[in-house]
Structure 1
Amino acid sequence: MSSSAHQFPTRNQKPSLWARFMWTMTDLIVRRSYPCFITGLEHYSQTSGTLAVSNHRRDNDGPLVASKLLLRKNGGIVAPLPSFAAREDLFEKRFLANYLHRWPRFLRYLLGFIYLRPFLVGTYPLQRTHGRGLASVLHEVVDYLGDMPIAEVLRSKSLTYYAAKLKFDPNATTVEELLKKHEYTLWQDRYGYRHFSIKVFTRLKPFLNDLIDQQIDFFVQMLNHDQVILLEPEGQLSLDGSLQRPRSALYDLITRPSKSVQVLPISITYDSLTTQKQRIFIDIQPELSGLEKLSKHIIDEQVTRSVWAGCRVTGSQLAFGFLHLNYFNSKNYWSELEMFEHVYAAAQRCHQGKIPIDPCLENKESCRLRILDILSWGRQQKFFAMEGDLLHIMNPDMPPPWLPDGSSTLLEYLRTELLETVGASQAYALRLLPDLHEATLSS
């Protein structure tokens, strides 16, 4: 989108009726679906261009943060209104049909007619070259280079793999023909550019670089007009529980505007392992200013550290820390009381060390109920099993329910999340994880 053709609103301009309706509906869905707790709204500046940055844990992070930033006074919409830098395939016409690939085929066919763009109030695309689906990047080949034989686009190893998997003739199939028949499957395969031949990617790259530069310039002009932009600098969901290295957009949006940009770190914590509604914490940290004079490395480090500073230790993390203490010490049988006593004592040590924790862990009775809920979830999911009065792990390789298979195991994901939240040195000093991991980590 061209910035010169776009009329930027004033920072405190009232939203349109359609925008008010969409944000009100978003807030109603959020309130009904998630017990969401927020702190630090007083840090949300009312004056200058603001870049709000958050960690990226689930696909609903954006709507969650939006509803809390917009509807923060007795359910009414309050300016300034944030705009969002969103994944580019969200604006594709068949996004819902591709994204909800596990839904029944007939429903996905109907979803293919729904175009999300009119509903994405204040949302604008930001192209990614990392982690994108193969179908999306093949569409770019058609858009920028024209239709061509798929044998010219994919490198030989990938061509052989997909020809066998999808049963097509690699020497007689074009890109458009392949997309028409197998878009669902190709869309699910992340990191699509890795399958391209070097020749095709080299031809495509100048078009992509130019498009990304135009999109960054659009957001830069918004910041110059004192707007608020919400950015997830990781660019994709974390697959292992860590906060990934920010993409270059963070540095560009801080250093390219003509005005100093306020950076608002937002920490999102999920406590998802529950038989009830998952509990979500949104903690807003004090704004950072003057970053535009710093190097990219220092900017990335300071913003990352500020985001992690507000992330909370949850019952799920501490419970799985207890499992690591036992499972990796060959003690795969334990009682509910043992887990509760470990989690409660660990939570108290975190609290005394001024590490943010889930408030339900501060009280002995609410902590006990939380552990019972985690155990109920584990039995429902067949992660835990009972033998007499003792529990043990049945499926140590179970993936996180919110991520695709093969990304990481639930045990490793929550271990990494706990390490990142508390800090490696404190995690071992507070005896939240076994020494075995400390030795492995240092080596």
Structure 2
Amino acid sequence: MYRSATFRFAALVFILQLASAAALIVMIGLSVRQQLNSDARRTVAVLRDDLRASYAGGGVAGLAREVRLRTGALVTPGTVLLLADRDGGRIAGNLDAWPPSVTPGAGSTEVTLYRSGLTAAEAMHVEGMRLRGGERLLVGTIVAGEARAIRMLEQVSGVALPLALMFASLAAWMAARMIVARLEEPLAALNAVAAGDLGARVPDDGSHDALATLGVAINGALERVETLMSELRMATDGLAHDLKSPLTRMRVVLERAATEVREPAAIESIDRALAEADRLFTMVQTALSITRAEAGIGRETFVAVDLAVELAGIAEMYAPVVEDAGRTLALDVPGTLPWVVHRELLAQALGNLIDNSLKYGAGPVTLGLDHTDGQVRVTVADRGPGIPAARHEDALRRFGRLDDARSGTGAGLGLSLAGAVARLHGGGLVLGDAAPGLVVTLNLGG
């Protein structure tokens, strides 16, 4: 899943959405905090400048009167003022003593102190200074409301982050679904072509975006494939016709020669030539069948049949051949199983598998049919030596004959044809161990 491009795209959208929401919350918090601090400093600066003017005009006495006025009559609500002597003793103001944490001349700072007559500590923004006579002046403003606003903002942020997480997840899911939805039509067209509908194309949605451009490119490739398949069909049909004719004429000439010669050696040579001609004709026919099946040619001739009946007919056809070889042919099929197949190619593939079993296997040959998990499987099994798992790939390769089979008359095309027929039906070919023996399974898809 982690290697999926869709997952990585959705994860990127999720991370970016969450990061942008978190950045927005943090920026709002910083801006609000900075603005509140700036307002508090400005208030303290204005109050400080007013008191300096009072001190300049009336000295310590005038400054004390101004401090008492502002704190006693509440001329400036929320004001924190303290005029102290050089030792920190209180002269006037609404603080009982000079706070140790405030250093005169060190600039403004935030502290939590008790105002005179109040029982609750309050957050304050204060600034201390030393006057010319050595006295100290503390000027400040209550920022408890601002602190509450910041705490409320933090609480809101705690609620906003889960919401941002939820919306980021939703955005990631919707973005992934949009990508998947846009890819459904190209995938449907490609799957249809893989299933044999060479005329399938990606519809034009008129968006002219990157995915629409991809659809145009896919359509161009599919048109090229359809053209090549048409040319291949004509070429294979022509090749089959061109090869069949000289092979047929050669066989006729050999048959005539066989009726005219009398010498045993000549008759034996002609018989071998006839056998090789038949073998060559079969090889050409099988190779062309494989090529056509792998190209998807023949799906237009699929018909609905009862596979149980079809396999019974094939077993009845090959039973005499199997009996002549001193073997038996068993049939293991359900009562009925309707399916859509290419009858001729399926019969040819099963005939090749039965012939392989007679040549290289031993014991009874079992022709089976199974329909489980929506898949149709046709099997041919025997009790011979089988094929080692390490050699399965060699056995399935076209013209791939195992060493102990090279002395036979086969061409190494039987399993290749069976595999091509299985793929034509949307499945595949699997070699297995019959314990002992070989079981060949044609999966006809689902």
Q: Which structure exhibits the higher relative contact order, with contacts defined as CA atoms closer than 8 Å and separated by 6 or more residues?
A: 1
Q: Please identify which structure carries the higher strand content.
A: 2
Structure of higher CA gyration radius:
2
TM-score by length of 2: 0.18
Q: Please identify which structure carries the higher helix content.
A: 2
TM-score by length of 1: 0.19
